[in-house]
Amino acid sequence: MSIQEIIHAKLTAALTPSHLEVINESHMHSVPANSETHFKLVLVAEAFSSLRKVARQQRVYQLLAEELAGPVHALAMHTYSPAEWQLRAGSVPASPDCLGGSKKEQGAK
């Protein structure tokens, strides 16, 4: 199973989300082809209705501790309650361009 699939399965089992996107953004960074190191997470769950943003992220960190300790280098999290998701009309911020590693050097030229 891929890291992306593992993340999806763990979050689905623990939080029963109404909406879940696990997007591999590794290709946007200075990593080898087919890497699974950088992810964007869009997670909508009723369990988040009573939690502040920090507590939501702490819960995700707990669930993905093994992946975050190893293969996953970066995880952008967008966590919402169903009501918040409805107010956002299903939109999330775009990920910024990577300027780290070799891309930073290329941008400076």
Structure tokens at 103: 């891309």
pTM as predicted: 0.84
Count of domains forming the chain = 1
Among candidates 42, 31, 9, which has minimal Cα distance to 100? 31
64 vs 92, more confident: 64
pLDDT tens digits, one per residue of 33-43? 777 878 999 99
Instruction: Write down the pLDDT at residue 33.
Output: 73
**What domain range includes position 8?**
3-108
CATH number of the domain that residue 56 is part of: 3.30.300.90
Rounded Cα gap, residues 45 and 13, in angstroms: 12
Tell me the residue length of the chain.
109
Rounded Cα gap, residues 70 and 62, in angstroms: 14
> Phi first, then psi: what are they for 52, rounded to 5°?
-75, 165
Instruction: Write down the pLDDT at residue 109.
Output: 40
Residue 21 has pLDDT above 50, yes or no: yes
Residue 2 has pLDDT above 70, yes or no: yes
Instruction: Write down the pLDDT at residue 99.
Output: 62
